[in-house]
A and B are shown apart, each in its own frame.
Chain A
Amino acid sequence: MRKLKIWIAGLVMATSLVLSACEQMPELEISGSIQTTTETQAGANVSSESGDSSSATFSLAEVSEYSGDPYVAVHDNIPYFTEEELNAARDSFEFYSELDEIGRCGVAYASVSTETMPTEKRGDISSVKPTGWHSVKYDNVDGKSLYNRCHLIGYQLTAENANKQNLITGTRYLNVDGMLPFENMVADYVKETKNHVLYRVTPVFEGDNLVASGVLMEAESVEDQGEGVLFCVYAYDVQPGITIDYATGESAISGQALAGVTTKADKNSTAKTEAKTNGSKKDTGAETKTSEKSNTKNEKKQTYVLNVNTGTFHKPDCSSAQRTKEENKKQVKDTRTHMIEQGYSPCKQCNP
């Protein structure tokens, strides 16, 4: 009942905002966003219509190419929220856009508070097949499954389970390295202070792509005017070592032809095992699949330390590995040949 009341409040608020936005900017009806729109030109644009950010526009074209960091600050880390939106966020609400004509999610938007947060463990979300969804596994992906059902607004914030308007096809890397840190920060801030956080996630699709290129994440703590939480970042929907065809969701190990990879859309019958989840843990998206392609070779696997920034791999005891920044470091168990096939170079010092 509590969730229903919050959702209805959000719907009323969102409806009024959409109407007010449409009166001034009727062309902004795309993707069911509130005061945000996603355009499908060379770059996706998100614009804000009033307040300090009146002329500010988010453009994907301004986001630098992925270079080793899972997210990058945009708009000086200041969200595109308007004063009106911030004032309205003193009461909890949730809004999830209707799917567009090809079934893609739009903006998800909420005033997160202790009222919206979960009181029980997360339920099964395997019934949802977001656009571009494929069950495919790689040995060089944490947890092996390339794709997760990525909550736009994380379960730990608004307790949404199998809501198809809140789940996109996202890489494991986007889910865990790109989005989860921000969800953790917001969740713990709300629990500690009991304040509200205005929170908006916009999936950015280029053209008619079925898989988003990334997500724009915005948040601002309400009662303290952003003193506690304030960010505006773009998180990349990429997976190091994997090439993705965003139009279809098909994928391949970097350097290999996309067509040569056995990926199979989920419209086919597959045996699925939903990964166990609980509390704030994000979906691993782990599924078993009979047609899964194994990339393992006969060569013995070793433990290596990757520098995802330089693309170098090291023995664990290599001094260069120990000097690598923690945020650029990743430990993997793989064959040397496979590491090189993925585009990583062996360290010249330790010669792994």
Chain B
Amino acid sequence: MIVAVCVDDKNGMMFNKRRQSQDRIQRQHLRKLAEGRMIWMNSYSAVLFLKDSEQLNAGLESGAQEDFAQPNICVDEDFLDRAGENEICFVENQSVSEYTEKIEGVILYKWNRVYPSDRFFDLDLSGEEWKLTESEEFEGSSHEKITMEFYRSHSQGSQSNGEAKE
């Protein structure tokens, strides 16, 4: 599976059981990366994507053009157990360290800000196990600069990356 997370400059994810931040453009970016692949998440995260869909539908009704592919979103509280090979897991409020063996790649969205934090992304990407293979910067809806980095696990073969398989 591919884990997708958003972190601040201190690798934080949450504070007081709430996400540090969110950004509509970041979610669109993830949807584009998925290109039809399954995106797994729990109900906490699904609320955000549901709101996006509602806004998208409202836009379509008023004549706006859909500018990204609708992904296959699957909501399950045990999604990290259920996700299959090359499927994306959007993780906001739980640990991934016990799934290290299963993780083929990591899509890391950096807010480039410091927020308060009491839950951190607990996968160490600085070791030799992980290789940075892709990086991209873009402006978010409420963040000046969001950086997307893709890390590939050496032990999980070479096909995993941020793009869909052929």
**A interface vs B, CB < 8 Å?**
71, 73, 77, 180-182, 184-185, 188-189, 191-192, 227-231, 233, 322, 325-327
Contacts and interface: CB of A to CB of B under 8 A. Distances in A.
B15 interface: yes
B43 interface: no
A71 B116 contact: yes
Nearest to A229: B18
B92 to A, nearest CB: 13
A185 B142 contact: no
Nearest to B140: A192
The CB with the most chain B CB atoms within 10 A, among A180, A184, A188, A325, is that of A188
Contacts of A227: 18
7 closest Cβ pairs, A-B complex: A192-B142, A191-B142, A77-B16, A181-B116, A185-B115, A326-B10, A181-B114
Interface of B: 8, 10-12, 15-16, 18, 20-24, 111, 113-118, 120, 126, 141-143
A192 B11 contact: no
B129 to A, nearest CB: 14
Contact of B22 (A192, A233, A322, A327): A192
A181 B115 contact: yes
A184 B111 CA distance: 11
A324 to B, nearest CB: 12
B9 to A, nearest CB: 8
Contacts of B141: 191-192
A189 B21 contact: yes
Chain B interface mostly: loop
A188 B18 contact: no
A77 B115 CA distance: 15
A184 B113 contact: yes
Nearest to B114: A181
Contacts of B23: 192
Contact of A188 (B15, B16, B113, B117): B113
Contact of B11 (A71, A184, A326): A326
Nearest to A325: B120
A192 to B, nearest CB: 4
A184 B115 contact: yes
A181 B15 CA distance: 11
A281 B77 CA distance: 39
B145 to A, nearest CB: 12
Given A230-B16, A327-B117, A188 B10 contact: no
A230 B113 CA distance: 19
A326 B143 CA distance: 22
A333 B112 CA distance: 24
A184 B143 contact: no
Contacts of B24: 192
A182 B23 CA distance: 17
A108 to B, nearest CB: 19
Nearest to B113: A184
A292 B142 CA distance: 41
A191 B116 CA distance: 18
Contacts of B116: 71, 181-182, 185, 231, 233
A229 B16 CA distance: 9
29 contacts: A71-B116, A73-B16, A73-B118, A77-B16, A180-B114, A181-B8, A181-B115, A182-B116, A184-B114, A185-B20, A185-B21, A185-B115, A185-B116, A188-B115, A188-B142, A188-B143, A191-B142, A192-B24, A192-B141, A192-B142, A227-B18, A229-B18, A230-B16, A230-B18, A231-B16, A233-B116, A325-B120, A326-B10, A326-B120
